[in-house]
Chains A and B, each alone.
Chain A
């Protein structure tokens, strides 16, 4: 992201389906060479946003420019300059790997003369040589994903949309996939990716949190984590159930998560988490063994944000029920 050249710019982008507002007032700027992650629960409006940016869904409000073109009026121009890959991988299961690649090369207008060479290059780069004649439907998740990303990048698009590209893919394949994503970004490709995997979120240059169609926060992973103002400690208490019950009852504790014998306790940064835990455990006669402070992860920040959102919604409902 050296030159800060904007590739996606949206102003108040919105979309409703009937009464349902799927995306509300999203304003974003994404720069060339960025890996931009979009996080949010299922149904938060991530896919709807991507579809509007690709020009296959008309916004009902606001505006957006993608690779210099308007999403509402110049959609077809956008389509030649983007690559698009969904979690379903969108391969033709009854075509072979090579046929799929040739099809997409033709579809994206790779010139006839160079098509064969380009497909060959993609096959080699993705290590698909042994599987070129295998039907795509018989490939495992990781291999399907490789073919899908190879298809989506055959025409060397400057902008790549990846909608949950690693869903159902094994960890090694995921890691290789992200290495590839970083290579593409280094070469200047801009990448917008949605994911539910928090380790993947940490690998993005910048992140956006979307809840209920609203953009809640945008920034680098470190910025987003810092803004939540959280601190985290881990401990291995002797009586875990008692410890958890007591900690949950304390209003200063934001969240508790289990990792084997370890309890991970998130506390608002105004409090000293070590002191809180020692105090609460002491009150129950539980020994907080191996108590240590831990780095706050994107996952901690994400979950804390979802919980706050849930609490707000609950409060709003309660207020609505008893006016």
Chain B
């Protein structure tokens, strides 16, 4: 029974080995997407040019400016002496933020009096506003609590020593947080893209070259043919997933908090659902080009609705209902749950049921549509 499926799978693998372009795509796609999404998003908000208007000119105020630069979010491009000068520099685009440190900054701190540091941000790029403000307020908050602790330590009992561990480290690296969030999601996006496209194209190619007729006229069973066609791509899917996880871990230090085994087992449902969808597409596409177009057409709503780009909870009700039908929506929750929160099998029951339901529906559609007949 499965002997013929293996014969097909063996043939697919030989063809894949000789198809350099597809092979390159299998490997290059995850790497490219990772670097694109991983880096492009980060570098955007780093190295924001900043000028310093230091009215205090004390050791403490200079230390604050240096600390800001040390976060990597700001490049101090100069010192200014007035608000008009700030305006001129920002309008000319030479700086996009300015920090104003008031007179008596150092003495206020020393005396424990509240003091305010002003951050001026060029609002023409909203993306920058958010990250520029986040980083600075993070730093200032940290500095404030640090100082509070120092004062507390100097005055009071020795409880402060373990309170020091409260140092708000996480405030410092929103950079890492984006990558951490994006990389596991990318596994889902990349699998959606390649799995659907590869199966759809593998069958469309046979149709185009006339070999499908030869398969249809042979005694191979419908299920065997479908199985043989998708089996090799399950392997490819796992390969891509492993690649993303490895690069994510080495380059972006993405954690894998939960069980890798659980992730790999549950990923099979997702991979299978995409392969089944690829089979459905292949029954609709007459040429490889059509198969590719369909795959891309399907990819867009996936990226937009699944929660990969925009938070699911922020979407309108209608979009949320649509998104429930996409395998990617549920896989994203699974992969983020396992990788980031260390979720276990019992935490993911709901997503599992959804994914299994979608898979069964897709397999049923594929089985009905995939007939051993010619038009």
Contacts and interface: CB of A to CB of B under 8 A. Distances in A.
B219 interface: yes
Contact of B216 (A56, A91, A103): A56
A88 interface: yes
B11 A95 contact: yes
Among the interface residues A54, A57, A92, which one has the most CB atoms of the partner chain B within 10 A? A92
A5 to B, nearest CB: 22
Contact of A76 (B7, B10, B211, B219): B219
Interface stretch (B12-20, B232-240, B285-293, B339-347): B12-20
Interface stretch (A34-42, A78-86, A306-314): A78-86
B209 A93 contact: yes
A94 B18 contact: yes
Interface string A48-89: 000100111110000000000000000110011010101010
A316 interface: no
A108 B372 CA distance: 15
Interface in B1-50: 3-4, 6-8, 10-11, 14-15, 18-19
A290 interface: no
Nearest to B218: A107
A112 interface: yes
A99 B14 contact: yes
Nearest to B18: A94
Contacts of A56: 213, 216-217, 372-374
Interface residues of B, number: 26
Contacts of A282: none
Interface in A102-158: 103-104, 106-109, 112
A86 B214 CA distance: 8
A94 B19 contact: yes
A86 B217 CA distance: 11
A69 B11 CA distance: 30
Contacts of A106: 3-4, 6-7, 10
B11 A90 contact: no
Interface residues of A, number: 28
B210 interface: yes
A103 B374 CA distance: 21
A250 B209 CA distance: 49
A25 B200 CA distance: 37
B367 interface: no
B283 to A, nearest CB: 15
B286 to A, nearest CB: 15
A40 to B, nearest CB: 19
Given A99-B14, A106-B3, A80 B219 contact: yes
Contacts of B217: 54-56, 79, 82, 84
B266 interface: no
B219 A79 contact: yes
Contacts of A91: 211
B119 interface: no
B220 interface: yes
A103 B13 CA distance: 12
Given A95-B14, A107-B8, 12 more contacts: A55-B217, A56-B373, A86-B213, A90-B211, A94-B14, A94-B15, A94-B19, A104-B218, A106-B6, A106-B10, A107-B219, A108-B218
11 contacts: A56-B216, A56-B374, A84-B214, A84-B217, A86-B214, A90-B209, A94-B19, A95-B11, A104-B218, A106-B7, A107-B4
Interface of B: 3-4, 6-8, 10-11, 14-15, 18-19, 209-211, 213-221, 372-374
